[in-house]
Amino acid sequence: MKISVLGCGRWGSCIAWYLDKIGHSVMTCGLANAPEFIQLKETRKNDYLTFPPSIEISDNLEIAVERAEVIVISISSQYLRSYFEDISKYSLDGKTIVLCMKGVEAASGKRLSEIVSDFVDKDKTNVAVWVGPGHPQDYVKGIPNCMVIDSDNQEMKEKLVNEFTSDLIRFYLGTDLIGSEIGAAAKNVIGIAAGMLDGLGYTSLKGALMARGTREIARLIKALGGNEMSAYGLCHLGDYEATLFSSWSHNRKYGESYVKGVKFEKLAEGVMTSKALLKLGQDYNVDLPIVEAVYSVLFKNVDAKEALNRLFVRSVKKEF
């Protein structure tokens, strides 16, 4: 397949490397003045991997869009709307867009596939999401994992799973687009909470965080019209190891750095996602105590230790 990967960051470069590795024709496209693009263009490598000669590297968005059967997008989720204002200048009819990014738009509370639907005719342009656990640092070492592709288009979803599956990444067919997107986005907020626990020396509370976090997000998914059991799959609970425990998790590291007063320079999607999920919880009348705790620390300057103590020392109640 002719595939263009838009975004040259940690995940974008890994996706391009992976899809080339399993035999597809891949072009990676980034902003000409972005440091990560410049590094790849000049050296064909970054902090995670080295590109083979077979991957084309371009800063020409028009060429990248027009050549592709499949367009994989991996950028900061909060910039997806403005990015699509540029992409939608070109014809997307007959193409498949795969969103390999995890977030919810903070201003509107919209899922990422909903943002894309504001710009494309879904009868002419297929939209899918690629979610689940994994780190580029593991994949380049040949360490396998499992991920999910989900979409409202069953035929296209099955085609992508068949085309993208390999011994390195086994893909499952998602059955709940709402749950897949919300679960994947929300795990980053739980990851920040986990990092705060690490930073405070409360790592032993991660078990409680995992149990309660999954149930909390399941309630939200159900309220939004999805299947609450999706929260227990690879999009959310299945991604906890990579997000709540790994030293490579940006969100976990952000939470830990925050409570230690150390500046963290890399993207942590869970920050703005906490704001978006809080809005959804209020709009749909869903109690989201973990989301509220993270939001209160990041946006209201509530002391992290106080917020987390209050979270885990609540009034007596049933476990679920």
* Number of residues that this document lists for the chain: 320
Query: Residues of 4-41 as b/e, b for ≥16 C-beta within 10 angstroms?
Result: bbbbbbbbbbbbbbbbbbeebbbbbbbbeeeebbebbb
Find the catalytic residue in 110, 157, 187, 222: 187
Q: What is the pLDDT of residue 122?
A: 87
Two tokens, residue 71: 């367009």
Q: Which of 167, 257, 171 is nearest to 249 (CA)?
A: 257
The CATH classification number of 178-312 equals 1.10.1040.10
Percentages helix, strand, coil for the chain (3-state, rounded to 5) are: 50, 15, 35
The answer to whether 2-173 and 178-312 have equal CATH topology is no
Sequence ranges of the domains in the chain: 2-173, 178-312
Distance of CA 233 to the CA centre of its chain: 15
Count of CB atoms situated within 10 Å of the CB of 265: 7
Q: Which of 277, 260, 106, 125 is nearest to 187 (CA)?
A: 277
Q: What is the pLDDT of residue 312?
A: 84
What is the CATH topology of the domain spanning 2-173? Answer: Rossmann fold (3.40.50)
Q: What is the pLDDT along the chain (320 residues), one digit of tens a residue?
A: 999 999 999 999 999 999 999 999 999 999 999 999 999 999 999 999 999 999 999 999 999 999 999 999 999 999 999 999 999 999 999 999 999 999 999 999 999 999 999 999 989 999 999 999 999 999 999 999 999 999 999 999 999 999 999 999 999 999 999 999 999 999 999 999 999 999 999 999 999 999 999 999 999 999 999 999 999 999 999 999 999 999 999 999 999 999 999 999 888 999 999 999 999 999 999 999 999 999 999 999 999 999 999 988 754 455 55
Instruction: Look at the alpha carbons of 308, 311, 314, 319 in this order and tell me if their dihedral is positive or negative.
Output: negative
Two tokens, residue 165: 């599956």
Q: What is the pTM of this model?
A: 0.95
Please give the Cα distance from 167 to 139 (Å, whole number). Answer: 11
Q: Is 187 a catalytic residue?
A: yes
